[in-house]
Amino acid sequence: MLGVRNPAMSRGRPGKSCVLAVAVIGPAALFFPPPLTLAQQPEPGPRITFTKILKGSIPEFEQVTVDPTGAATCDTRKLSEPPTPRAFKLSPGTTHKIFLLAGRLHNFQGIDLEAHKSVADLGRKTFAYEHGGENHSAEFNYTTNRDAQDLAETFEGIVSVNIHVQTLEYSIRYDPLGLPRELSLIQTDLERKALRDPELMTPELRAIARDSRFLHVAQVRAENILQRLQQDRN
């Protein structure tokens, strides 16, 4: 419409149709602002990353990244293998705890978490905070800082759950006879309270409990775990 020349414009004054178009388009622009350019896009929120490297262990490399919405990724592998991060969603409670503990640790800015004691190699652990151009990190092998210990245990619990999910997925498809052992390990970890957000295993546990192709003992253990998770939520 704007590309068509109005005959009244050639006589030096706008025609009625042009005035009407301006009247319609003008108010509409108030409700439909132009899209943001790349430079105007809001910057992403903060992210916290936990990395642990321990050569010779299984896995050798662990990394979890989480943002304030609970959107997270977990990568567990040998150091020689390429990255294979898995996306998932943490619970609001776990997400809140991670960012609360990071805040108590000043988002890892200018803080020394290493205990500086002669201890075995427990794995090189790194906490990292990233927000826009702000980046802080702290590394340690062993720490006596209670908040740092709690944060590391929280991330380790997330890693453990993800490893269980991967093992269950593999066993369901390729090694169903290995399910009873894996489910027993999950029960032990639940008793030890070593898992964080174990509800992430629910889809795989339901698939096992409801499918008669799997061994009866596997079905029973999967159902028992599901009941335990339900009780813990209540």
Burial of 120 (0-12, 13-18, 19+ CB in 10 A): exposed
45: pLDDT strictly greater than 50? yes
- The predicted-structure confidence for 93-144, as pLDDT tens digits, reads as follows 999 999 999 999 999 999 999 999 999 999 999 999 999 999 999 999 999 9
- Asked if residues 218 and 185 have their Cβ atoms less than 8 Å apart, the reply is no
| Confidence (pLDDT) at 1 | 39
| Confidence (pLDDT) at 41 | 58
| Confidence (pLDDT) at 34 | 57
| Confidence (pLDDT) at 39 | 52
12: pLDDT strictly greater than 90? no
Question: What is the C-alpha to C-alpha distance for residues 81 and 165, in angstroms, rounded to an integer?
Answer: 19
**In the chain, % of residues over pLDDT 70:** 82
| Confidence (pLDDT) at 233 | 86
| Confidence (pLDDT) at 44 | 75
- The predicted-structure confidence for 50-108, as pLDDT tens digits, reads as follows 999 999 999 999 999 999 999 999 999 999 999 999 999 999 999 999 999 999 999 99
Question: What is the C-alpha to C-alpha distance for residues 222 and 179, in angstroms, rounded to an integer?
Answer: 9
Rounded to the nearest 5 percent, the helix, strand and coil shares of the chain are 50, 15, 35
Residues forming beta bridges with residue 51, ordered by sequence position: 63, 126
Domain ranges, ordered by start, for the chain: 47-233
| Confidence (pLDDT) at 3 | 43
Burial 133-145 (b: 16+ CB within 10 A, else e): eeebebebbbbeb
Q: pTM to 2 decimals?
A: 0.81
